[in-house]
Copies of this chain bind each other. A is one copy, B any other.
């Protein structure tokens, strides 16, 4: 038996490669599918099945891309009219070498969600279940995608899927979710790759609620939906076009030309690099935050151009593919140094240390302190006098944010992203807080209870 977890960082997505006796199934493949082909070659195995646990909304699924290269069937739930693949229903089974895969319909997160249960034919007991976005370590799937008014219905369905389909399989069953900590597909996923039904029954607070309380919890849950989800839903319903963007190197003149023509300019360096100097008009999204935040700021039409410390950035390129950005795009050859060495205009952003912020506050400085963390984090420990706006919502709430603002988050990454966005929108007096609330607390400065 071959069991491999393929992790896509940033969107915290897990796909799975399951093989036995020369046959393999892929669960929820990502769009840059080279890893699955590589594993198939390494294990000398044929990919026979591609399962989609549901129409994913946070990345473009790679089923069609993968099916170009292997002779495999694409399988998904029957409650949605996908434009490709084959529908499966409760109880359908598939032989995979010495394993048997059984489909369980587990709606709630979406209506067509399915789980895939694995039995070893030699023992005939449930061993592993691929649950998609139904259950996570410490969390369950979100149920808000069909509108607030549908939450009582979808939450109820999810409750039943959990309590009538998943949990009865037995404490010993290993649970493989489609996401891990950091994903927005669950509000508070615990940082743990694998779990078991029994472990979740012991530790997952949401499994201890009765149905009514569960629905109530879901009605009040604060979750985030980046605008790009709409595009992903369309891609995954219809099948994404089979073309991948290629990062074209652009020299300084070409790059500048793209800026002038309205390309979306993203600086993927770290906050201090961005503060020390950057191209005027650039949005800062640090490289490893790119997959999680690009979808709040970048559209699917205008070219995307990237600046890094030097040359291209493979992780950003793959993230664009995974998020379905098939825009024309390119990167600055030689990275940011090539820009300033050519005498091009540079801008910088003021980075305040927590000491400086504290002393400015103590001096009675007159500025707006903007907390851009998630609500849940914000609530635990805000800086006295600060106001809140989640970074992903700033584009819609600019009216509420005055000039002369110090932005903070947990650490300085999201605040620098927010500050860069404010600068693009004409703010002249913006600072970012290096180290954010974490450094603030480490230095022993006061927070509001």
Name A's B-contacting residues (CB within 8 A).
Answer: 1, 3, 22, 40-41, 44-46, 69-71, 98, 120, 122-123, 125, 127, 138, 170-174, 190-203, 246, 248-251, 269-278, 309-312, 314, 333-337, 340-346, 348, 351, 353-355, 410-413, 434-436, 438-443
Least CB separation from A312: chain B residue: B41
Q: A194-B3, A340-B434 are in contact. Are A123 and B22 (CB under 8 A)?
A: no
For A173, what are the chain B residues with a Cβ–Cβ distance below 8 Å?
196, 198-199
CA distance A209 to B201 in the complex (A): 29
Choose from B138, B198, B334, B348 the contact partner of A198 (Cβ within 8 Å). B198
CA distance A120 to B194 in the complex (A): 13
For A196, what are the chain B residues with a Cβ–Cβ distance below 8 Å?
171-174, 196, 198
* Chain B CB within 10 A, most for which of A173, A190, A311, A434: A434
CA distance A120 to B98 in the complex (A): 34
For A272, what are the chain B residues with a Cβ–Cβ distance below 8 Å?
269, 273, 276-278, 336-337, 340
Choose from B201, B274, B314, B342 the contact partner of A442 (Cβ within 8 Å). B342
Q: Is the CB of A171 within 8 A of B198?
A: yes
Having A44-B335, A277-B434, one finds 10 other A-B pairs with CB under 8 Å, namely A46-B249, A125-B203, A270-B335, A272-B273, A272-B277, A272-B336, A340-B353, A340-B434, A341-B410, A345-B353
Least CB separation from A317: chain B residue: B41
Q: Is the CB of A277 within 8 A of B351?
A: yes
Q: Is the CB of B22 within 8 A of A249?
A: yes
For A170, what are the chain B residues with a Cβ–Cβ distance below 8 Å?
171, 198, 202
Q: Is the CB of B333 within 8 A of A45?
A: yes
Q: Min CB distance, A246 to chain B, in Å?
A: 5
CA distance A441 to B441 in the complex (A): 47
Q: Min CB distance, A95 to chain B, in Å?
A: 13
Q: Is the CB of B199 within 8 A of A127?
A: yes
Question: Sorted from nearest, which 3 A-B pairs have the closest CB atoms?
Answer: A172-B198, A276-B276, A343-B442
Q: Is the CB of B251 within 8 A of A22?
A: yes
Q: Min CB distance, A38 to chain B, in Å?
A: 11
Q: Min CB distance, A227 to chain B, in Å?
A: 28
Q: Is the CB of A269 within 8 A of B277?
A: no
Choose from B248, B311, B312, B351 the contact partner of A70 (Cβ within 8 Å). B248
Q: List 16 A-B contacts (CB under 8 A).
A: A46-B248, A46-B249, A123-B199, A125-B203, A127-B199, A172-B202, A173-B198, A173-B199, A269-B273, A272-B277, A272-B278, A277-B434, A340-B435, A343-B439, A343-B443, A344-B439
For A275, what are the chain B residues with a Cβ–Cβ distance below 8 Å?
276-277
Q: Min CB distance, A431 to chain B, in Å?
A: 12
Q: Min CB distance, A107 to chain B, in Å?
A: 25
Choose from B3, B190, B343 the contact partner of A120 (Cβ within 8 Å). B190
Choose from B200, B341, B345, B353 the contact partner of A411 (Cβ within 8 Å). B341
Q: Is the CB of B310 within 8 A of A44?
A: yes
Q: A193-B1, A198-B170, A277-B434 are in contact. Are A337 and B40 (CB under 8 A)?
A: no
For A70, what are the chain B residues with a Cβ–Cβ distance below 8 Å?
246, 248
For A174, what are the chain B residues with a Cβ–Cβ distance below 8 Å?
174, 194, 196
Q: Is the CB of A40 within 8 A of B340?
A: no
Q: Is the CB of A270 within 8 A of B44?
A: no
CA distance A342 to B22 in the complex (A): 14
Q: Min CB distance, A272 to chain B, in Å?
A: 3
CA distance A334 to B22 in the complex (A): 8
Least CB separation from A250: chain B residue: B46
Least CB separation from A346: chain B residue: B353
Q: Is the CB of A438 within 8 A of B341?
A: yes
For A344, what are the chain B residues with a Cβ–Cβ distance below 8 Å?
439
Least CB separation from A192: chain B residue: B1
Least CB separation from A197: chain B residue: B172
Q: Min CB distance, A333 to chain B, in Å?
A: 5
Q: Min CB distance, A200 to chain B, in Å?
A: 8
For A203, what are the chain B residues with a Cβ–Cβ distance below 8 Å?
123, 125
* Chain B CB within 10 A, most for which of A271, A334, A335: A271
